[in-house]
Amino acid sequence: MQLYLLDYGAGNVRSLLNAVERLGHSIEYITSAADFDAADKIIFPGVGAFGYAMQALRDKGFAEPLRRFVASGRPLMGICVGMQVLFEGSDESPDEPGLGIFRGRVQRFDSATKAVPHIGWNAAQTVHVAPVPPAAAAAPAIRDDARYYFVHSYAVPYTGDCAQSEFAYTATRYGDETIVSSVWRGSVFSTQFHPEKSGAAGLAVLRSFIEGDLARPAAPGPAAPPADVRAALTKRVIACLDVRANDQGDLVVTKGDQYDVRESADKGGDVRNLGRPVDLAQRYYDEGADEIAFLNITSFRSLPFKDTPMLEVLRQASRSIFVPLTIGGGVRDIEDPDGQRVWPAAEVAGEYFRSGADKVSIGSDAVYAAERYWQRMAAADQEALDGATAIEQIAVRYGRQAVVVSVDPRRVYVRSPEDAPGHHVLRTAFPGPAGEEYCWYQCMVKGGREGRDLDVRQLVTACEALGAGEILLNCMDKDGTNSGYDIELIADTKAAISIPVVASSGAGRPEHFSEAIDKTGVEAVLAAGIFHRREVPIEAVKDHLRQRGIPVRPADR
C-alpha cells in the first residue's frame, strides 16, 4: 500500500509524519500530478487560511488530480483545513470556491459568546445514522468518550438535516454552536480535529484510516435527527519548560523565582537544573499534559539561527509526543551574528514548525509591535496594521491559531489612577508596600530585564488586532512563588479580549488551577515548578478539576 502526503508547504506536517512512522508506516510526499496515480491512499493536512490552501492546490496543479483521485474511489483523509476545502466555500475566503465534494459552507465561529479560535480538546460524538457498511469495512476509530485536539476559527455548522446525514460522521459542541467535526462518505474520511496531535486516541483514528477499509456507502441513510451533542471543550493543563544552557554548556530545563533562575550565592549561584528538556517533556506527555510549551529564555543572546538548540529539542520531542508543542523565545526577525543572513520572523517560525512545533510564542517582539501599533493609531493618518510585524507575518502565513503572545508583566503600585497617566489602572485587593490601593501591569522585555511604557491591556488588545491567536499570561511577581495565580491580572485581561487566555505563574496547589478557571474563565492553566519538582502530579490537578465539575481530557488510552 502506497500512502502519500499532500502538502503545500504551509506548516507543521512533521507531527503527521512522526505519527505515521510511530504507527509503523511510511509516507511519500506528492510532488507532481502524476503522484496521484501512484497513490493508494492520501492524507491531506491543510494548514493556514482556506483561500491560501485552495490557491496553493491550484498553483501546484493539484486541484483536478485530487478531484479525480476522490472520484476513483481511493481513500482520502483531510485534516483541519484539509477537510474544509472539501466543502463548497468558506466565509474565510469568500471569493475562493472549495472543491465542492461535500455540500455546505465553512463559517466563522461567533466570538461574541466564546473565545475564538476554538483551541483545545473536545469530544467528537458520532451522529450518523446512515448504515455503517458491511462487516468487511471498519468504521473510523473515533470514540465518543475520547477527546481530540481542535484548533480553528472556522467550521461547518452541524444541522443534522437530510443532506448532511449523507456525510456528517461526528459533531462537536463549542459554546452555543455545534459543528461537523468529521465527515465520512464513500472512501473520503476527514476530521476537523488533528488526530496527529490527539495522543493515543488520535493515533488510533489515523491507524483506522491507514490500515482499515473505510468505504462507506454513498447512499444517504435516514435523516439524522439533530444529535444531542453535549460534551464541552475541556480546560487544558499545560506544562511549561524554561530552557537554557547552564554554566557547563548543557541544555537544561530551569526554573526561576520571579524570573531569577540561579541558586542563591550561598548555594553556589548556578543555573538551576531540573532535567533535560526532551526527557521532561516526554514525562509530561506520559502523565497526561494537554500541551507542552518550551521557552528559550536566553534567546536575546545572539546565535546563528540554524544553531539554536531548540530546533533539535523540537525534532526529538515531536517524534514521540503527540500533543501540541509551543516554542517561544527569539521569534522575531533575526540577523545572524556574522551579519551574513537575516531570517524574517515568518521564516524563523517556519523552521520551528518544520521541526515539530505547532505554535510559536512571541514575547519581547510583541511588545515592540504593540508600541508601534499604538503610535500608528495615535497618528490617525497612518495605517495601524502594515503587515510588517512578526505577529502579522506569521498569522497570515500559518494562521492566527499558530501565534501565541507570551506576556511578562510586573505590578507597578500607584496611589491613584492619576499617578499612571495613559495606563489601565486596577484597584487591587492586595495593596502595595506603602499601602497603595492601585496598580498597573507593566510589560517587560528581554526576559524581565527591561520595563516598557506599555501596560498589559494595551499589549493584548493590540496583539489581538494584529492577529495573535492566544495569550500566555505570565506574571513576574507570582512566578515560582507557589502562592496562586494573579487572579486580578488574569480576570482583567480575559475580559478585554476574545482570543483564548492561558493563565501562568504562581500555581502551587490543585486549588489554584480551579480558582483561576472559576474566577476568570481562562481556557487553559499552565504551571512549571510544581510539575518539575514533582510536588503535584498533572493527574492530581485534573482529578481536582473533575471533582469541581470542570471538564478535562480523560486519561489517554
CB of 348 to ligand 1PR, least distance (A): 10
Kindly give, in sequence order, each residue whose CB lies less than 8 Å from that of residue 128, ignoring residues fewer than 6 positions away.
165, 168, 169, 170, 184, 221, 224
Binding span for ligand 1PR by CB under 6 A among 171-179, 310-318, 322-330, 370-378: 322-330
Query: Rounded CA gap, 392 and 469, in Å?
Result: 11
- 528 is a contact residue toward ligand 1PR (CB under 6 A): yes
Active site residue 556: no
Binding mask 465-494 for ligand 1PR (x = CB under 6 A): ---------x----xx--------------
Active site residue 539: no
Buried b (16+ CB within 10 A) or exposed e, 80-111: bbbbbbbbebbebbeebebbebbebebbebee
3-state secondary structure of 256: coil
CB of 372 to ligand 1PR, least distance (A): 16
State phi, psi for 192 to the nearest 5 degrees. -75, -30
H or E element that contains 64: helix 63-71
- 256 is a contact residue toward ligand 1PR (CB under 6 A): yes
Please identify which residue in 160, 202, 467, 529 interacts with ligand 1PR, judged by CB under 6 A: 529
β pairing state of 28-29 and 334-335? unpaired
Binding span for ligand 1PR by CB under 6 A among 57-65, 214-222, 326-334, 350-358: 326-334
Query: Rounded CA gap, 265 and 271, in Å?
Result: 11
Identity of the residue, 78 or 529, whose beta carbon is nearer to ligand 1PR in the bound complex: 529
- 242 is a contact residue toward ligand 1PR (CB under 6 A): yes
Please identify which residue in 63, 146, 362, 462 interacts with ligand 1PR, judged by CB under 6 A: 362
CB of 549 to ligand 1PR, least distance (A): 24
Please identify which residue in 125, 361, 442, 520 interacts with ligand 1PR, judged by CB under 6 A: 361
Give the footprint of ligand 1PR on residues 364-403 (CB under 6 A).
364-365
- 308 is a contact residue toward ligand 1PR (CB under 6 A): no
Kindly give, in sequence order, each residue whose CB lies less than 8 Å from that of residue 26, ignoring residues fewer than 6 positions away.
3, 20
Size of the site for ligand 1PR (CB under 6 A): 33
Binding span for ligand 1PR by CB under 6 A among 137-145, 279-287, 325-333, 376-384: 325-333
- 545 is a contact residue toward ligand 1PR (CB under 6 A): no
Kindly give, in sequence order, each residue whose CB lies less than 8 Å from that of residue 350, ignoring residues fewer than 6 positions away.
397, 398
- 409 is a contact residue toward ligand 1PR (CB under 6 A): no
CB of 445 to ligand 1PR, least distance (A): 6
Choose the catalytic residue: 7, 35, 166, 196.
196
Active site residue 80: yes
Active site residue 260: no
Query: How many residues are there in the chain?
Result: 557
Please identify which residue in 89, 330, 350, 500 interacts with ligand 1PR, judged by CB under 6 A: 330
Q: CA end-to-end span of the chain, whole Å?
A: 27
β pairing state of 470-473 and 403-407? parallel
Cell numbers for 25: 508506516
β pairing state of 3-5 and 148-152? unpaired
| CB-based burial label for 555 (10 Å; 0-12, 13-18, 19+) | exposed
Active site residue 194: yes
The residues carrying an active-site annotation are 80, 194, 196, 242, 408
Query: What are the residues binding ligand 1PR (CB under 6 A)?
Result: 240, 242, 255-256, 259, 261, 295, 297, 299-300, 328-331, 361-365, 406, 408, 447-448, 474, 479-480, 504-507, 527-529
